[in-house]
Structure 1
Amino acid sequence: MTLGRTGPRQPGVHGNLALRGGRRRRDLFTRISIVNSTGSEGSYGHVLLVESTGNENNANFEPVKQTHADGAVWYGNKLFVADGGELQVYDFQRLWKIQTSAEAVGIKNGVSSARWHQWALPMVGRCTIDASRKDRRYCPEQIPR
């Protein structure tokens, strides 16, 4: 699936977002592609969606697993990714520059890697659908502002 802006360029808009998800094996990793366009020229980069693991003394990250990425909305600094059963929330203010390009995902011997991606975007919250609740729009976790 690809999500992007179509039509004429709007004043003050400096980037487009493409969301890449898929079926089967591709569901193991989800990335977004960000395009910076001046109208006549453009550049782009891929960002792997990840989850923080570990703790304050032993921080690490891993890919967001089994995400199909049905759709996305970029609003302010937040990226909201719909996955059919939950809404995942990412924060562009926490975008990580990766130190090395390798297949591994995470931090090993103090060096970060994100499956050949230059950037990683950590999930900051998720809202899951609770079928037992009367109001199924309920989001049980606080999402950082």
Structure 2
Amino acid sequence: MSVLSARRQRKRKLKSEINVVPYIDVMLVLLIIFMITAPLLNVATEINLPQSKARSLQQKQDPVVVSVDAQGNYFLAVTAGKNESVTAADLRARVGGIVAQNKDVQVLVGGDATASYQTITDAIDLLKEAGVDKVSLISAPKQDPAR
């Protein structure tokens, strides 16, 4: 009986291994799902920029973009593609914080083609109050009427 009980004890020995294959499968599926859905999550505000023949600027880093729509609402994009609606006070505070960390940050202002000139200059005034020294205006390339 001692031989039989020894065999049973060997069979009942616990395994201390973790089977990670199912976890890897789940992670790969999640990775594929996120890779497919991430480009679809871009949220943007539709603004019709005025057209001009100005050259584009050469940039070393992503600029801070402030947009003004036709109703006079402000939008702030600190990272490319992430346009957030902000109030005038929030715009001044957030841009002021960015300028405090990096004095050389490039700030671009884009206004809707139907927005009043006053709302765009109000946005520039808010940026000046936030400590921005230089502001660049955004425009769309001018379309040829013959095309």
Q: TM-score, normalised by structure 2?
A: 0.20
Larger RCO (CA under 8 A, 6+ residues apart): 2
Q: Which structure: larger Rg?
A: 2
Q: TM-score, normalised by structure 1?
A: 0.20
